[in-house]
C-alpha cells in the first residue's frame, strides 16, 4: 500500500529536482525507485548540496550527512520523499 | 636542510584527527602509518581514494615511507581512474573498508583500534625534500590529464607559508575542518599538509550540508579553521549557519564574491581569507577578501608579468610555471586576477578547456556539430555548462550517455539541447551573441525566466 501523502510529495519533489538541477527531463519520467546519484540520474555531491537547500526552503527539512539513514534517504526519489514526509516542518 | 620531518611539532599524545571514531594521537598516527607501510605491495604509484581524511593521511604517509607516489585523481569517475591506471601501469588503490573498485586492484585501509596502553615515544621519520610524493592532474589541451609532480619540499613549503600568512603558530589549539576533497590540491595543501606541519588537529570527515558544517564547527575542539569553497559558503549563508566566533575561513577553487565574504565574516564573526592557486604550482597567493582585490604572493613565491602571460617562481619549483589565468602584477609583487584565459572555464572548482570538451562531443558518432557553453548568469550554487548539439536521429539521452563515458560528471551539460543546426556565421564561427540568443530561446521555450 502506498501512502498517499508521500506519493503527492514524490510528484512535487520530482518537479523540484528537475527545476533546481536544470535537468532536461520530464519530472514524471523519474522512476521512484531508481537511484538519483551515480548511475540513474547521474547527480553529484554539488547537486546534493543544491537540492538540500531547495528542500530546506520548500519543506523546512534540513538534511544532514551525519544522519545514519542518509544513504537510504538519497537512494531514490521515493526514499527522499518519505524522509521529507516524516521530517517536514512546512 | 635536505630533509624534513613527516609531521610537525606534536607530542605523541597530541590529537592529529578527530571524528570518525575515537581521536587518533600523533603516536597512534605514526604507528598506523608504519603498520600500513609494511603491508603495502611493492609498487611505485598508488591512488589514495580514502574518504576519511585521517585514513587518507595514513595512506599518504605510508606511501611516502615506502617511497611510493600518491596519485591524486581529479575525479572518482571510473573512466578517470582507468585512465590514470593505464598511464601509471602497476598502480593500485587504497580505499575505505567497504569500497571495492573494479577499475584497479584495491586494498582497504585498516586502522586498528587504539591500544589501551600509552603509546611509546616514537621517532618521527624524516623525508627528503626532493622526494616526489604526489601527482596532481590537470586537463591538458588534448583532453589527456597532464601529471604535475609534487615534491615533499614543495608541499611542506606551501603548508608552512600558508600557515604563517594566516598567523597560525605551531601547536595552536586549532581544528581544521574541510568541505573539500583531500585528493584535490587545495584540499591536500590546506586540510592535510597545513595541519600536520603545524601540529594542529584535523577533522577526519567532510561535512557537506550546511547543518553538517554547523555541527562540526560547534564541536571542533579549540579554534576552528574551515577549508572550503564559495559554493559551500553560499549554502551556509542561505541556511543561516552559525559558528563559534573567532574562527578562520579559507576559501579557494573559485573567486569569492565580496558581498558573500562580508556576510560570512559577519555571520561567523570570523576572518575570511582566500587562496589563489592551480594544480601546476599549488597555492601561490592569499588575500582577505574584504580587504581588497589584490592577492599577496605567499612567502618565497614570485609572480612575474611577461608579455602574454604570467609565470610563478618559487624555490621549491624546479622551473617557472605559467599561470592559467590573466593577471596584472603591480610593482610591489601583488596582483589582480582578471579571469581565465580564453577557452578555459571553471565549473565548481574544476578547470576545463571548452575546446577539449567540444572535441570530445564531436568524436561521438552521429554528432555533426556541437558546442559547450557556460551561461553568463549565476543561478543556484554553481553555473553548469550547457551544450547545443546537431545530431540528426540521436536523442540527447544517447549523446549524454556517450559523453558520460569520456567527460568528468561535473562537466556534463545541463541541459544538452539538440537543434537542427547551430547559428554559425559565414566564417563558421559562433559569435557570443548567437550563443546568448540560443540560450535565451531555449529558456523561453522551456519556461525558465529570461
Q: Do B414 and A23 touch (CB under 8 A)?
A: yes
**Of A43, A55, A70, residue with least CA distance to B212:** A70
pLDDT at site B377 = 64
Among B340, B371, B397, the domain-final residue is: B340
**Are B284 and B312 part of one and the same domain?**
yes
Chain B residues 347-366 with CB within 8 Å of chain A: 348
> In Å, how far is A38's CA from the nearest CA of chain B?
9
Q: Is residue B285 part of a domain?
A: yes
**Are B26 and B174 part of one and the same domain?**
yes
| Number of domains comprising chain B | 2
**Are B27 and B88 part of one and the same domain?**
yes
State phi, psi for B402 to the nearest 5 degrees. -70, -40
- Looking at the partner chain, which of A24, A42, A65 has a beta carbon nearest the beta carbon of B209? A65
Q: Is residue B205 part of a domain?
A: yes
Q: Is residue B355 part of a domain?
A: yes
Q: Are strands B386-390 and B369-373 parallel, antiparallel or unpaired?
A: antiparallel
In eight-state DSSP terms, residue B142 is T
**A-chain residue closest to B416, CA distance:** A24
**Are B18 and B53 part of one and the same domain?**
yes
Which of B108-112, B166-170, B177-181 comes out lowest in average pLDDT? B108-112
Q: Does B395 touch chain A (CB under 8 A)?
A: no
Q: Are strands B350-353 and B344-347 parallel, antiparallel or unpaired?
A: antiparallel
Question: H or E element: which one contains B249?
Answer: strand B248-251
**Are B276 and B299 part of one and the same domain?**
yes
CATH of the domain at B172: 3.40.50.12780
Query: Which of the pair, B397 or B291, is modelled with greater confidence?
Result: B291
pLDDT at B226 over 90: yes
The boundaries of the domain holding residue B89 are 3-340
pLDDT at B374 over 50: yes
Q: Is residue B450 part of a domain?
A: no
Q: Is residue B31 part of a domain?
A: yes
**Are B89 and B128 part of one and the same domain?**
yes
**Are B300 and B330 part of one and the same domain?**
yes
Among B309, B340, B371, the domain-final residue is: B340
**Are B273 and B368 part of one and the same domain?**
no
CATH of the domain at B360: 3.30.300.30
Judged by DSSP in three states, B424 sits in: coil
Chain B residues 240-279 with CB within 8 Å of chain A: none
Q: How confident is the model at residue B311 (pLDDT cuts 50, 70, 90)?
A: very high
CATH of A4-87, one of 1.10.10.10, 2.60.40.10, 1.10.1200.10, 1.10.357.10: 1.10.1200.10
**Are B81 and B205 part of one and the same domain?**
yes
Residue corresponding to grid cell 620531518 = B5
Q: What confidence tens digit (pLDDT) does each residue in B104-155 have?
A: 888 999 887 766 565 566 789 999 999 999 999 876 544 567 899 999 999 9
> In Å, how far is B216's CA from the nearest CA of chain A?
10
Angle at A37 between CA B57 and CA B189, to 5 degrees: 25
Q: What confidence tens digit (pLDDT) does each residue in B313-326 have?
A: 999 999 999 998 88
Cβ count within 10 A of residue B12: 17
CB-count burial class (<10 Å; 0-12, 13-18, 19+) for B386: buried
The C-alpha atoms of residue B313 and residue B298 are separated, in whole angstroms, by: 11
**Are B303 and B349 part of one and the same domain?**
no
Q: What confidence tens digit (pLDDT) does each residue in B24-35 have?
A: 999 999 999 999
What number of residues does chain A have? Answer: 90
Q: Do A64 and B412 touch (CB under 8 A)?
A: no
**Are B304 and B405 part of one and the same domain?**
no
pLDDT at B292 over 80: yes
Average pLDDT over residues B288-298: 96
Among B299, B317, B340, the domain-final residue is: B340
Q: How confident is the model at residue A45 (pLDDT cuts 50, 70, 90)?
A: confident
**Are B397 and B315 part of one and the same domain?**
no
DSSP for B4-62 reads EESS-S--TTSEEEESSSS-EEHHHHHHHHHHHHHHS-S-SEEEE--SSHHHHHHHHHH
The C-alpha atoms of residue B293 and residue B299 are separated, in whole angstroms, by: 19
Please provide the distance, in angstroms rounded to a whole number, between the alpha carbons at the two ends of chain A: 25
Q: Do A53 and B235 touch (CB under 8 A)?
A: yes
Amino acid at each position: 500500500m502506498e501512502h498517499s501523502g508521500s506519493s503527492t510529495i514524490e510528484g512535487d519533489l520530482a518537479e523540484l529536482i528537475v527545476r533546481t538541477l536544470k535537468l532536461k527531463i520530464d519530472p514524471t519520467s523519474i522512476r521512484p525507485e531508481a537511484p538519483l546519484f551515480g548511475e540513474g540520474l547521474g547527480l553529484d555531491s554539488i547537486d546534493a548540496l543544491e537540492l538540500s537547500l531547495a528542500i530546506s526552503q520548500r519543506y523546512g527539512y534540513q538534511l544532514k550527512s551525519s544522519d545514519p539513514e542518509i544513504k537510504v534517504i538519497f537512494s531514490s526519489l521515493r526514499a527522499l520523499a518519505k524522509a521529507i514526509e516524516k521530517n517536514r516542518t512546512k | 636542510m635536505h630533509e624534513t620531518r613527516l609531521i610537525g611539532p606534536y607530542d605523541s599524545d597530541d590529537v592529529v584527527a578527530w571524528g570518525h571514531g575515537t581521536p587518533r594521537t600523533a603516536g597512534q598516527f605514526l604507528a598506523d602509518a608504519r603498520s600500513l607501510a609494511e603491508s603495502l605491495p611493492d609498487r611505485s604509484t598508488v591512488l589514495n581514494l580514502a574518504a576519511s581524511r585521517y585514513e587518507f593521511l595514513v595512506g599518504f604517509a605510508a606511501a611516502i615511507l615506502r617511497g611510493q607516489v600518491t596519485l591524486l585523481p581529479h575525479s572518482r569517475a571510473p573512466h578517470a581512474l582507468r585512465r590514470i591506471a593505464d598511464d601509471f601501469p602497476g598502480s593500485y588503490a587504497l580505499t575505505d573498508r567497504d569500497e571495492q573498485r573494479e577499475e584497479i586492484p584495491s586494498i582497504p585501509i585498516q586502522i586498528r583500534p587504539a591500544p589501551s596502553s600509552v603509546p611509546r615515544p616514537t621517532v618521527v621519520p624524516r623525508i627528503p625534500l626532493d622526494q616526489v610524493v604526489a601527482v596532481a592532474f590537470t586537463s591538458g589541451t588534448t583532453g589527456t590529464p597532464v601529471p604535475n609532480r609534487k615534491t615533499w619540499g614543495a608541499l611542506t613549503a606551501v603548508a608552512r607559508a600558508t600557515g604563517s600568512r594566516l598567523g597560525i603558530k605551531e601547536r595552536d589549539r586549532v581544528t581544521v575542518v574541510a568541505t573539500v576533497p583531500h585528493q584535490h590540491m587545495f584540499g591536500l595543501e590546506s586540510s592535510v599538509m597545513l595541519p600536520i606541519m603545524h601540529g594542529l588537529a584535523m577533522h577526519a570527515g567532510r561535512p557537506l550540508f550546511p547543518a553538517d558544517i554547523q555541527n562540526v564547527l560547534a564541536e571542533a575542539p579549540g579554534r576552528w579553521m574551515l577549508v572550503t569553497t564559495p559554493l559551500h559558503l553560499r549554502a551556509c549563508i542561505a541556511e543561516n549557519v552559525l559558528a563559534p566566533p573567532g574562527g578562520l575561513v579559507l576559501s579557494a577553487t573559485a573567486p569569492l564574491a565580496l558581498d558573500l565574504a562580508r556576510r560570512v565574516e559577519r555571520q561567523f564573526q570570523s576572518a575570511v581569507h582566500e587562496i589563489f592557486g592551480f594544480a601546476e604550482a599549488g597555492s601561490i597567493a592569499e588575500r582577505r577578501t574584504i580587504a581588497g582585490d589584490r592577492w599577496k604572493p605567499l612567502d618565497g613565491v614570485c609572480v612575474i608579468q611577461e608579455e602574454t602571460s604570467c609565470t610563478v617562481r618559487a624555490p621549491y619549483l624546479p622551473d617557472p610555471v605559467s599561470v592559467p589565468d590573466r593577471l596584472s602584477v603591480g610593482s610591489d609583487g601583488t596582483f589582480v586576477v582578471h579571469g581565465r584565459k580564453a577557452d578555459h572555464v571553471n565549473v565548481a572548482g574544476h578547470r576545463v578547456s571548452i575546446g577539449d570538451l567540444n572535441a570530445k562531443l564531436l568524436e561521438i558518432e552521429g554528432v555533426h556539430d556541437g558546442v559547450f557553453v557556460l551561461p553568463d548568469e549565476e543561478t543556484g550554487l554553481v553555473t553548469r555548462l550547457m551544450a547545443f548539439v546537431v545530431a540528426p536521429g540521436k536523442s540527447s539521452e544517447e549523446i549524454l550517455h556517450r559523453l558520460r563515458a569520456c567527460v568528468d560528471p561535473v562537466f556534463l551539460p545541463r541541459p544538452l539541447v539538440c537543434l537542427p543546426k547551430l547559428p554559425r556565421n559565414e566564417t563558421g564561427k559562433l559569435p557570443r551573441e548567437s550563443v546568448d540568443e540560443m540560450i535565451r530561446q531555449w529558456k523561453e521555450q522551456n519556461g525558465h525566466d529570461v
